[in-house]
Amino acid sequence: MFKGNRIFLFKVIAIICTLILCLVQLIHIRNIYKLEEKVYNIDEKKIIKTAYEESIVNDKVFPGAVKIIDSILYKEFDNLETFALHNTDAFKNLSARLCDTLFKALNEANNMDVFLDSIKKKHNLSANLEYALFIEHFAIAIEPNQYFTLFSSTEPDYKTTVPYLQHHGARIGGTLKTYSPQTLASALKVSATTARSYRMNFALYCDRPDRLQQIVYKTLPQTILSVFSIIAILTIFFLTFANWIRQKKASEMKSDFINTISHEFQTPLTTIIIANKTIENENQIIKSQKLDNLHNIIKRQSERLTILMQQVIETGGEKPVRLVLEKHHINNELEEIISDYRINLDLANANITFENKTDEDLVLLDKLHFTSIILNVLDNSVKYNHKSLKEIIVTTYAKSSQTIAISIKDNGDGMSSKVKRKMFLKFYRNPSLVTSNAPGIGLGLYHSKQCLDAHGWDYEVISKEQVGTEFIIYIPIISGEL
């Protein structure tokens, strides 16, 4: 139950982290778009703003508009003043009629198309630039700074002949359809401090009709990269999580297998030990030397097998190798190991030779683990050899005055570079053995490497396909006597 909850918790955490990474990428895309939208056409807008504002220094809305405004406004100024002070409803009605007349007249006299075309040609701007010119606010001052509003863009539904848009006002000219802070080229408020004057707010918007497409096109590389990153993150997450689940299941299966096989071996092993003890007792009467040798071999190997089964269990739990270091003459140990191992070679059509080329062979080692190392290498020399006659040569020689080398050389199949890289991995087996149903579970060399590392010994593997393999172990020599 706890394991299931833990896996669920891992899933939740992994999904949340992945979603956060995706959200960060989406925010990044959004920020890129907003930045590009902010700076889009900024140079063109500056040129238009400067030219437009210079053209209406002594004017309003567009060149020549002030004469139209003054001619219409001041005809009704006295009535507006009277109504503003004494009749609010009449003031509103007159304001609406006057503004409608004014907006219509300005719309008909609008010369911004010609003006904008001249700016485009002069500064080599884009030919498809569009504009929209709005009057946002209009008020009269009966006394200095005492204003009465005639028109305001804040009204939700203002009736006028020209197009009206709340928050933007009455459109005097232009065909632009989008009005945002990014498309605003100029916004002016013109007023006077004298009596019988007026105040007017107006704005010029300028942009290309394909603004959105252009911005998307400019941000497309970053967007594609971000989308690819999101897809890559999601893919890596799912692959990693699926692989983790597979490895977890495989690890549990391996642990169950090791525990099961260890348990199944225990009963026949106990029987062998008891039977060997009976042979030992019977031989005390018979006193057969050959039987005594066989009894000793069975005893050594059964004891070794008992300890090895315990090591298999420890290996499955990833426990470190524990050493019991003692002084040994390595040549003597090798002779004993090889002597016992020759019994295995009777049916394997194999020959093993031991060559002792040095007498300085006193070393510190754990006998059990050292035996495991040598036997595992010998087993591989036999299993990975499909020659009609299998030759194994074990040699000891002095690499230096402080180091003895053990060479185990065979005439077997050899290894490819790929197999050589993986040979010490846990549960790894050469595909040639897997397909030929040769015995083994892929723990031998893994355990040998654990033992070598625990001893702190150096080693190297020299192999060539179809020629053979040489496994060399370098062990420090110690001084003194056994």
463 and 330 share a domain? yes
Per-residue pLDDT band for 393 (boundaries 50, 70, 90) equals very high
**Residue 93 is part of which domain span?**
60-207
| Final residue in a domain of this structure, among 153, 182, 207 | 207
Strand 458-464 versus strand 468-476 pairing type: antiparallel
Does residue 141 fall inside a structural domain? Answer: yes
Residues 23-64 pLDDT 10s: 888 888 888 878 777 776 778 888 999 999 999 988 999 999
DSSP label at residue 389: S
For Cα atoms 103, 107, 108, give the angle at the middle one, nearest 5 degrees: 120
Q: Which DSSP symbol is given to 178?
A: -
The residue out of 146, 173, 207 marking a domain boundary is: 207
249-295 pLDDT, tens per residue? 877 777 777 777 776 776 677 778 888 888 888 878 888 888 888 88
Average pLDDT, the chain: 86
To the question of pTM greater than 0.85 for the whole model, the response is: no
User: DSSP state, 204?
Assistant: E
> Which residue, 396, 397, 382, 395, is CA-closest to 351?
382
Reduced to 3 states (helix: H, G, I; strand: E, B; else coil), residue 403 is strand
Per residue in 112-148, pLDDT (tens digit) is 999 899 998 988 888 888 999 999 999 999 998 889 9
Query: What is the pLDDT at residue 440?
Result: 62
Do 109 and 64 meet the contact criterion of CB atoms below 8 Å apart? yes
The CB density around residue 210, as the number of other CB atoms within 10 Å, is 11
Q: Tokens 């508009």 identify what position?
A: 65
Q: Which DSSP symbol is given to 423? A: T
Give me the torsion for CA of 435, 441, 446, 451, rounded to 10°. -140
- Look at residues 207, 241, 261 and tell me which one is the last residue of a structural domain: 207
Give yes or no: residues 330 and 191 share one domain. no
The verdict on residue 36 lying in a domain is: no
Q: How far apart are CA 197 and CA 221, in angstroms?
A: 55
3-state class (DSSP) for residue 11: helix
Beta strand 130-143 pairing with 146-152? antiparallel
**Is the per-residue pLDDT at 9 higher than 60?**
yes
Q: How many CB atoms lie within 10 A of CB 126?
A: 12
Residues 326, 470, single domain; the answer is yes
Flag whether 21 is in a domain: no
- Whether residues 198 and 338 share a domain: the answer is no
Give the domain CATH number at 443: 3.30.565.10
199 and 330 inside one domain: no
Asked whether residue 436 is domain-assigned, the answer is yes
Rounded Cα gap, residues 135 and 167, in angstroms? 10
Q: Classify residue 220: in a domain, yes or no.
A: no
Find out whether 356 and 396 touch, Cβ atoms under 8 Å: yes
For 314, residues 6+ apart whose C-beta sits below 8 A from its C-beta are: 321
Is 148 within the bounds of a domain? Answer: yes
* Residue 261 resides in a domain: no
Q: Is there a single domain that holds both residue 327 and residue 195?
A: no
Query: How many domains does the chain fold into?
Result: 2
pLDDT of 15 higher than 90: no
Residue 443 tokens read as 């723990």
Distance CA 230, CA 240 (A): 15
Q: Three-state SS for 72?
A: helix
Within a domain: 188: yes
The Cα 424–Cα 88 span in angstroms is 98
pLDDT for the residue 331: 94
